[in-house]
Each structure stands twice: as structure tokens, then as C-alpha cells.
Amino acid sequence: MTADCVIELSGVWTQIGASIIHRDIDLCVRSGEVFAVIGESGGGKTMLLRLMLGLEPARGTVRVFDRPLQGYPADDFKRMRRRWGVLFQQGALFSALSVYDNVALPLRELRQLPEEMIRELVMTKLALVEIDAASADKLPSQLSGGMVKRVALARALALDPELLFLDEPTAGLDPERSDGFVNLVQRLRRELNLTVVMVSHDVDTLIALADRVAVLADQRLITVGPLWEVVEFPHPFVHSFFLRHRTRSAQQSVDELRRVLGQSRQAA
Ligand SMILES: Nc1ncnc2c1ncn2[C@@H]1O[C@H](COP(=O)(O)OP(=O)(O)OP(=O)(O)O)[C@@H](O)[C@H]1O
Ligand SMILES: [Mg+2]
């Protein structure tokens, strides 16, 4: 066990019915980094996040904040759950609840805070993600896609987590909104000193945010490293991923992508 790992998986296997989703996964998410996961659709990325959240059973060991998730007493687990925030891939917000009530939900679940304090915290979080106070009473259906993601982020940040999980945070956003969201995460990460685990298939998002990228293929983690190393990894999935998912900033070619990554490598 490396003391620096906020999350550590060792020898993790998962299975749904007869099909094996993950085989013998080892990984360490370091404190303060943005750790990205890429892989085929249906390849088990969301499931990997759910494992880290204690929502899926697994063989092997999953340690979060230096303690194994398995066999946690319920009260301790509840306390630990407050140390992370999650932006789920699907169903980011409850559609019947207003923006305000969505962000207030995790605070109300604590059952300890007076409503005035909840109001102050909710409005602070909305301001943090640049949602104006006038939108607090709106329903999710009255928001743009970019705003829904930002409100969902405000809710994930409601309890001041140390660890943030983002599952496809920019999927479905147009390029401008996607860039806006990426800038927001960059700023919050600096200001709040977060460790982030992010699933994304968007190369621009990966270039902007990821310190390291882990590749899930053939049920295994085939490589983990900075993007400029991963892009060179000899595996058919990696090759097709960077061919398929061309980047806006990288002018539509893998060679150009290498050039952009070469620059960020020199800057690092
Ligand atoms: N609750 C469930 N019941 C049955 N099968 C499931 C369940 N959740 C996930 N699976 C299966 O597990 C596999 C991995 O799913 P997962 O959602 O982790 O993939 P993913 O990599 O996140 O895909 P995507 O890129 O489409 O989001 C898929 O084959 C999926 O059909
Ligand atoms: Mg998924």
C-alpha cells in the first residue's frame, strides 16, 4: 500500500452473471490528481467507478482513504461517503426537484443543519459553479444541458468533498459548453484541492484535465500514464480510440494530437 493512494485497487475482479467485466485490476489514484479512465462502450468504466463507491461487489481489495471498503461498519461508511461527491453519467438531477432542492438534498440527508444554513450553502455552491440565484427555483427541464451538468456538479460538491467522481462530464455538451465545463473543473480543482476520478471519451477533455489516463480493454487495465504516453501504447483499442475520437484543438489528426501532447509534456 502506497500512502499516497486516495483509492487503491488490488487484484479486483467483477462479474455480472457469467460475464467477467474486470480481471485482476490494480490501480492507485494519487492524492490531488485527475485520474481519467477510457475504454470501450460497455467495457466497465462506470462499473469501475461504482466499485470505488462501494456500490458493486468485487473480488479483491478496494481501499478508499486508506481503508478497505469491504466490511466497513454502516456508520463509518456513511461518514466516509460524505468525503466524496459524484456526478453520475445518467440521471444527473432529480427531475421533480428544483435546482435548489437538488443541491440541498445531500445537506438535508445529514439531518443536522438548519434551513438557513442549508440555503447559504446551496447558494454558495450554485455561485461556485456559476449558476445565478434566479435559476435556483427552476426545474431541471427548464435548464440547458450545460446548466444541468453544472447544477449536478454543485450537488456533488455540496458536502465539500475531497474526492470527486465525474462520469462522462462533457458528453452531450456542445463544444463551447464542454470547454466551459472543463474550465470550471480546472478552477475548482485548484481552489478546492480535489482528487478527481473521471471517465471520459472526449480527447479535448482528457487533454485539458487528465494528469494520468488508465485504459480499460479486454477486461483489464492495459496501461496507465500521462496521455502522451498512452497515445503511443501498442493496442488496437488505443489506436482506434485516438483515430475515432479526433480532437477539435488537435486539428483532426493523430499526428497533430502527438504534437499537442508533446507541447503539454514539455510544459509539465
Ligand atoms: N446493473 C446491471 N445489470 C446487468 N448488467 C450490467 C449492469 N450494469 C452494467 N452492466 C453491464 O456491465 C458492462 C459494463 O457496463 P458499464 O456501464 O460499466 O460500461 P461503460 O464502460 O461505462 O459503458 P459506456 O461507455 O457505454 O458508459 C456492460 O456490459 C453492461 O451491460
Ligand atoms: Mg458508463
Q: What is the pLDDT of residue 1?
A: 46
- The answer to whether the CB of 73 is under 6 A from ligand 1 is no
Query: CA-to-CA distance for 170 and 148, rounded, in angstroms?
Result: 11
- The answer to whether the CB of 50 is under 6 A from ligand 1 is no
Q: What is the pLDDT of residue 268?
A: 64
CA of 119 to the centre of ligand 1 (A): 37
CA of 49 to the centre of ligand 2 (A): 9
Burial (Cβ within 10 Å: 0-12, 13-18, ≥19) of residue 134: exposed
CA of 129 to the centre of ligand 2 (A): 24
- The answer to whether the CB of 46 is under 6 A from ligand 1 is yes
Phi/psi for 252 (5° steps) reads 65, 20
Query: CA-to-CA distance for 63 and 10, rounded, in angstroms?
Result: 9
Q: What is the pLDDT of residue 92?
A: 75
Q: Which ligand is in closest contact with the Cα of 16?
A: 1
Q: Which parts of the chain sit beneath pLDDT 70?
A: 1-3, 91, 245-255, 263-268
Neighbouring residues of the ion ligand 2, judged by CB less than 5 Å: 46, 89
pTM, 2 dp: 0.90
DSSP string over the chain: --TTEEEEEEEEEEEETTEEEEEEEEEEEETT-EEEEEE-TTSSHHHHHHHHTT-S--EEEEEETTEESTT--HHHHHHHHTTEEEE-SS--S-TTS-HHHHHHHHHHHTT-S-HHHHHHHHHHHHHHTT--GGGTT--GGGS-HHHHHHHHHHHHTTT--SEEEEESTTTT--HHHHHHHHHHHHHHHHHHT-EEEEE---HHHHHHH-SEEEEEETTEEEEEE-HHHHTT---HHHHHHHHHS--TTTTT-HHHHHHHHHHHHHH-
CB atoms within 10 A of CB 33: 18
- The answer to whether the CB of 192 is under 6 A from ligand 1 is no
- Hey, which of 16, 20, 23, 218 would you mutate to test ligand 1's pocket, going by the most ligand atoms within 8 Å of its Cβ? 16
Q: Which of 167, 183, 176 is nearest to 38 (CA)?
A: 167
Q: What is the pLDDT of residue 175?
A: 84
Which atom number of ligand 1 is nearest to the Cα of residue 199? 22
CB atoms within 10 A of CB 265: 13
